[in-house]
Amino acid sequence: MKYTQLGRTGLKVSRLVLGTMNFGPFTDEADSHAVMDAALDAGINFFDTANVYGWGDNKGRTEEIIGSWFAAGGAARRDKVVLATKVYGNMAGDGEAWPNHDRLSALNIRRAVDASLKRLQTDYIDLYQFHHIDRLTPFEEIWQAIDVLVQQGKILYAGSSNFPGYKIAQANELAARRGSYGLVSEQCLYNLYERRAEMEVIPAAQEYGLGVIPWSPLHGGALGGILKGAEKGRRVSGRAAELLTDPAIRSQVQAYEDLLDKHGADPGETALAWLLTRPGVTGPIIGPRTAEQLESALRAVELELSEELLAGLDEVFPASGPSPEAFAW
């Protein structure tokens, strides 16, 4: 495994991030533990989750599964992991939402972090991320709450997820004026197909020293060799199935798979390896349901993409370009 600093921090994290969203809904506790064992054995030390994972009436279940894994391995296991979770969504069951049980008020942040710590069976969270911007809560209040948690030792760093570039700037400018450390990472939708983050989000992250953590690196499976898999009888569902109903997108995905056939490259591994070449990227989030799926993702870390292949990928999936040039002329 290769490692890098998380943004401007001194924290060393693996170039692949273990995403845990499948733990609970699709992967049972025993298999989830096996995936985490395999990830740690492979050198992945950066685990990402969220308080709402488990979904519906099972919100929090994913954190509980991680917590039971920590408990089974003792303090040494916890010490090896850089643990990231998120706050924003309402944790009540479906149809039971209650005021102040969501968003980023100081009250909800305080309540949510204590609940996450209990489920995770740990006394601190390395990276506490805002799952979405909160248009109703000022950053003055948010940073006051975060500073208290840092002083209490409950969290070490704060990060964002799904923030636009101007909110990254706004958050960190205010943090600097307060003497707070500010955001150290941004978790955003970014992959070969979806490159809009290159316009403003990634430049803002680089300007303010945030590590970029792309989610959905295979765009819901569309970049994982989906057409070839369908030919072999593999079921296509979710976002990928919706995309392929558009003839233009289907043609683009076909061109992608044809290009990789020409180079003898695996689509899923190439999509991950491409993200690892991108400026500002700390590491993509992978979400294996099984240890076998994890093995495929690990090969991407060592994969070297030729200049010819990189140019071909840009032709199939053109860059949005940085702002303001992308939309000014």
Catalytic positions are: 53
User: Whole-angstrom Cα distance, residue 272 to residue 284?
Assistant: 7
Question: Tokens 């898999």 belong to which residue?
Answer: 229
Cβ atoms of residues 33 and 66 within 8 Å? no
E strands of the chain, at which residues? 3-5, 12-14, 17-19, 46-48, 82-87, 125-130, 155-161, 183-189, 211-215, 285-286
Residue with tokens 């899923």: 268
Contact 182, 211 (CB under 8 A): no
Tokens of 91: 């944790």
Residues facing 125 on adjacent strands: 155
Find, among 25, 9, 11, 26, the residue nearest to 293 by Cα: 26
Cα–Cα distance between 277 and 281 in angstroms, integer? 8
Tokens coding 322: 């940085």
Residue 209 carries which DSSP code? Answer: T
Q: Taking the CA atoms of the chain, what radius of gyration do you get in angstroms?
A: 20
d(CA 161, CA 171): 13
